[in-house]
Structure 1
Amino acid sequence: MEMTEMDKTSQSSRASTVKQRSSAWKRLRKRMSRKGVVEVDIDHHRYQMLECIRKGIRDTLLEHSDLGPKEDLKEEDYRHIVAQKITTEDGKEFMFESYASSVFAAVRQAINLSEENYLNSVAPPMLPYLEFVSNSKSGQDFYLTNDMQYIFKTDKKYWIDYFISILGDYLNHFLTYPHSLIVKFLGLYSINLPGNQKKYFLVMQSIFYPSHRIEDRFDIKGCLAGRYQKPRPPGSTIVTVYKDQNFVDESLNLGTQGEWFIEQLKADTLFMKELGVQDYSLLVGRQIRHVDEQKETLSNLISRMQKSNIISQSPTHNTSQSSEDKPDDDTDGPEQPNKTPTEENKSQRVITFPKSLVDKVYLDQIEMSNRRLLPNCKNGLHIIDGPDHRYFLGIIDFFTLYEYRQKCGRIMKSIKFGCRDHSTVPPDVYADRFLKFITERVK
């Protein structure tokens, strides 16, 4: 019997449906089969979004050279948004926005990351992105650049608005404590695909870079309730991030750098307390140092000393955006949570940011603040070499204000766990407990 056109169409439709289901199942099976790093290939459900992000970043950096780093960052630089409609090669249109472009370009320049290297790493023409499938319950998505140096982290608009509101304070802390353990954010963007909700994402350094030899990873909040991660089976290659209960009997053997670490952790924790945030973490990575890595040569020591001439600038020389300086709700930029504008907003506040954190001319003019001798390696700001281990250390996730939702969560968690040793507590309690838990384990 000859097949009719209707039959052919029906068969084709069924085949297409089966193919879609098969692709969906493959994606699900890939995601369920392991927790770790997964290549974002053409079958991945976020492939189109990441390709549009790649296109948006490339177009913004290549077509807007005027938005490069500035030495004097003014109030309008924090408010500035580049919004453009971009068309992909297959004719699809989407909206892409870049926030405070010159501010983040200044941070990139200050850590000696050129715009060319940033572009080639964050938005290379062809190399695929990687998805980090974590055991985090935050609901955020994490994607890695192909070289695994930088992370794309999605976040909700409310917390992005909050970060914009404290961006000046964040920058000033970085200047005051150039070796701060707080993660460095290098870009802030949003993408709006047709039929989808606008999605915001930050580009940040990966604390765990280079990661190929890291043996253990921990996410430490300083509390024990609900903070346990089942260990991976022996011989497993799955990337597992352990938590506080797993870390109770561990230690940070930092040797001569232990005192520096404690002082810097105190300064960074005080900054978090002053911001009124909680739920942040100290990421800890650990790998064994080889015997040859424990030897210090003269040339290596000289290189480390040159690399460690990082500048700082005290608040008396710098004025960050204060709580009265943030954008009000009438601006086109992200809204700022719980801020009321005053007449003082109209005055111009400026942060004089250096072209490089190793600028000797600038270094000679200011006093250093809790500096250390950085290791001669990539990602040196987040690496400390102890006698036997190399540690990767950085503070992340500091956007959570202690507001109504957190106060309700505190009650619910206290009932659930039958104690108060959980993550949802007031900022001062969180900071003191966080600091105590970690410093008690420093050798």
Structure 2
Amino acid sequence: MQAQFNSIMQTQFESIRNLFGVQPGDYLVSLTDTPHEVLENPGASGSILFLTENKRCIMKTVQKKEKALLTELFQEYYNNLVQNPKTLLPKYFDCYPCKNRKITLSVMNNIFPTSIQLHQKFDLKGSTYKRKVSKKETSKKSPTYKDLDFMKKHPEGIFLENKTYDILFETMEKDCKLLESFKIIDYSLLLGVYFVRSDSTALDRNDANDFPSGATLAWTKNGDRLALYMGIIDILQKYDAKKKMEHCLKSVITDGKAVSVQNPKIYSERFLEFIKTKVFKKINTS
């Protein structure tokens, strides 16, 4: 039965690659070209990340319990990708067991573009407890900031066209509903920001042709034009007994509602509320 299920997963992995335009030859080159660049992981999971030579895929180590969760949710995850192609969830292209080790190497899409250098990167969970970049992280060439940093750098939020805002959150709500149904927490919105130029708030749709695919056009309240790249990451952490204990202990130290670890429903609601109200705002462009 397990072998049959694994065979179905392989077929669906191939279908996902086809759905998102990953050609077999390009995918093979992604995996076999060397050397792969080791990426610095700002998260606490301890996973190792690799960027393929052509920079189109991310390879990430997955622990045994994370692989079991991916297997458990895979059918629903696959259905969501097919029915919701604008999904912000990671696009898993395949998984490969590592020889003589209790880990798996997953292959996913690279959210960020390879032809431009992003000006800012954020890892956003909707939590304010200790969600601030460390001194060690700020010393890096391209640091990843957190929730409190975003609120300081973008106190007014980032503005989206009304239709873009509505579509984004319709998609994100579907994604979060799926994660909540499998009791998943600790996921983040990974957001890359590229400052284009200062401009009026009038939206010139031709600007979309100036950037790599996947850009969402936006602007600051001051009229700085932005190209955004985003996706939901780290979706393989379940709200288990260990996480429940972590929440209880941190709640003794500070406001329990502020800490990152929450039950899946509260986590999902807080995450969406933060992204909807603190990160993105609507602007009427009609």
Compute the TM-score of the two structures, normalised by the length of structure 1: 0.56
Whichever residue aligns with residue 216 of structure 1, its letter is: Q
Could you tell me how far 1:186 is from its partner in structure 2? 0.6
Q: Helix, strand or coil for the counterpart of 1:241?
A: coil
Is residue 112 from structure 1 mapped to residue 21 from structure 2 by the alignment? yes
Partners of 2:82 and 2:212 in 1: CA distance: 20
Partners of 1:375 and 1:410 in 2: CA distance: 45
**Equivalence map 1:149-164=2 (5 Å):** 149-164=56-71
Unaligned residue ranges in structure 2 (runs of 5+): 220-224, 282-286
Whichever residue aligns with residue 440 of structure 1, its letter is: T
Partners of 1:207 and 1:215 in 2: CA distance: 15
Count of equivalent residues: 268
Partners of 1:418 and 1:183 in 2: CA distance: 31
**Equivalence map 1:47-196=2 (5 Å):** 78-80=5-7, 100-124=9-33, 127-193=34-100
Whichever residue aligns with residue 390 of structure 1, its letter is: A
| Structure 1 counterpart of 2:274 | 437
**Equivalence map 1:11-410=2 (5 Å):** 78-80=5-7, 100-124=9-33, 127-193=34-100, 197-210=101-114, 212-230=116-134, 238-249=141-152, 250=154, 251-256=157-162, 257-290=164-197, 295-297=204-206, 378-380=212-214, 383-387=215-219, 388-410=225-247
Inter-CA distance 439–418: structure 2 relative to 1 (3 Å threshold): closer
Q: Could you say what the CA RMSD is over the residues aligned between the two structures, in angstroms?
A: 2.7
CA contact (8 A) 1:232 1:238 kept: no
CA contact (8 A) 1:100 1:188 kept: no
CA contact (8 A) 1:278 1:425 kept: yes
CA contact (8 A) 2:247 2:256 kept: no
Partners of 1:163 and 1:105 in 2: CA distance: 16
CA contact (8 A) 2:66 2:237 kept: yes
Could you tell me how far 1:290 is from its partner in structure 2? 5.0
| Structure 2 counterpart of 1:316 | none
Partners of 2:84 and 2:63 in 1: CA distance: 28
Partners of 2:276 and 2:38 in 1: CA distance: 33
Partners of 2:102 and 2:136 in 1: CA distance: 36
Inter-CA distance 146–272: structure 2 relative to 1 (3 Å threshold): same
| Structure 2 counterpart of 1:424 | 261
Could you tell me how far 1:121 is from its partner in structure 2? 1.7
CA contact (8 A) 2:42 2:137 kept: no
Compute the TM-score of the two structures, normalised by the length of structure 2: 0.84
Partners of 2:18 and 2:209 in 1: CA distance: 20
Deviations 1:145-195 (A, max 9, x none): 1222211111211110110111110011112211111111111011114xx
Report runs of 4+ in structure 1 exceeding 4 Å deviation: 231-234, 294-297, 374-379
Q: Helix, strand or coil for the counterpart of 1:242?
A: coil
Partners of 1:100 and 1:396 in 2: CA distance: 20
Partners of 2:116 and 2:211 in 1: CA distance: 14
Inter-CA distance 237–155: structure 2 relative to 1 (3 Å threshold): closer
Unaligned residue ranges in structure 1 (runs of 5+): 1-74, 81-98, 301-373
Could you tell me how far 1:137 is from its partner in structure 2? 1.2
Deviations 1:58-95 (A, max 9, x none): xxxxxxxxxxxxxxxxx966423xxxxxxxxxxxxxxx
Partners of 2:16 and 2:60 in 1: CA distance: 18
Q: Helix, strand or coil for the counterpart of 2:50?
A: strand
Q: Helix, strand or coil for the counterpart of 1:212?
A: coil
Deviations 1:299-325 (A, max 9, x none): x9xxxxxxxxxxxxxxxxxxxxxxxxx
Identity %: 24
Deviations 1:340-379 (A, max 9, x none): xxxxxxxxxxxxxxxxxxxxxxxxxxxxxxxxxx978645
CA contact (8 A) 1:78 1:167 kept: no
